[in-house]
Chain A
Amino acid sequence: QSALTQPASVSGSPGQSITISCTGTSSDVGGYNYVSWYQQHPGKAPKLMIYDVINRPSGVSNRFSGSKSGNTASLTISGLQTEDEADYYCSSYTSTNTWVFGGGTKLTVL
């Protein structure tokens, strides 16, 4: 149950695009299309942004998109807005019927 690997921080200017990576193994990210992404603002509960690698829940902006290649999943945010500044976590289902999260990435919108 080792955590998935995410960059500690990323930054971008309003209007730009950024990508956050999430690296696991063939027992989690690479083995299933069950990667999800969560946004968390300080003091708030996490919010589901992407599920099953590429799908957006109703109400989530289409500026958020997900993808996966091998053991690495990615979250891309286009047209950055100040309200996108938050912590982002990836998560994956695993071969042992458990879940694992990434360490989290702090997004700063400059």
Chain B
Amino acid sequence: EVQLVESGGGLVQPGGSLRVSCAASGFTFSSYWMTWVRQAPGKGLEWVANMRQDVREEYYLDSVKGRFTISRDNAKNSLFLQMNSLRAEDTAVYYCARVREGAAFDIWGQGTMVTVSS
């Protein structure tokens, strides 16, 4: 079964750091671009970052540039998002998703909640 499972969410204070992970299974992880999308409570979807299969390209939402870093370990079928200098407005469910050929997100995880609050 094709599956993505996020983990690592939690409560963190403003200015703090957190690393969320995404474990992939059921497909050849190293063949796909991967992405992170977030959704603040009661709000819409917001694309955050994505990374090419060979890690040579990565792109970010302007508001997270310099604070968030996307990475991946193809040997372990895993995607990561390192979040530093966290702000209250980063509070959201963070989803990882697979980017299908073309530019759509065809497989989604269940999400992991990140809460930034003192």
Contact = CB atoms under 8 A, between A and B. Distances in A.
A9 B50 CA distance: 30
Contacts of A101: 37, 44-47
A45 B111 CA distance: 7
A52 to B, nearest CB: 5
A64 interface: no
Interface string B18-45: 0000000000000000010100000011
A90 to B, nearest CB: 10
Interface in B81-113: 95, 100, 102-106, 108-111
B106 A32 contact: no
A45 B104 contact: no
A52 B61 CA distance: 22
Interface in B58-79: 59-62
A45 B109 contact: yes
Contact of B44 (A45, A96, A102): A102
Interface residues of B, number: 23
A72 interface: no
B44 A100 contact: no
Contact of B103 (A36, A45, A87, A102): A36
B102 A1 contact: no
A103 interface: yes
A31 to B, nearest CB: 12
B103 A32 contact: yes
Nearest to A55: B102
Contacts of B44: 3, 87, 89, 101-104
A38 B44 CA distance: 11
A20 B112 CA distance: 29
Given A96-B59, A101-B44, 11 more contacts: A1-B61, A32-B103, A34-B104, A40-B45, A48-B104, A51-B100, A51-B104, A89-B45, A91-B45, A91-B105, A99-B35
Interface of B: 35, 37, 44-47, 50, 57, 59-62, 95, 100, 102-106, 108-111
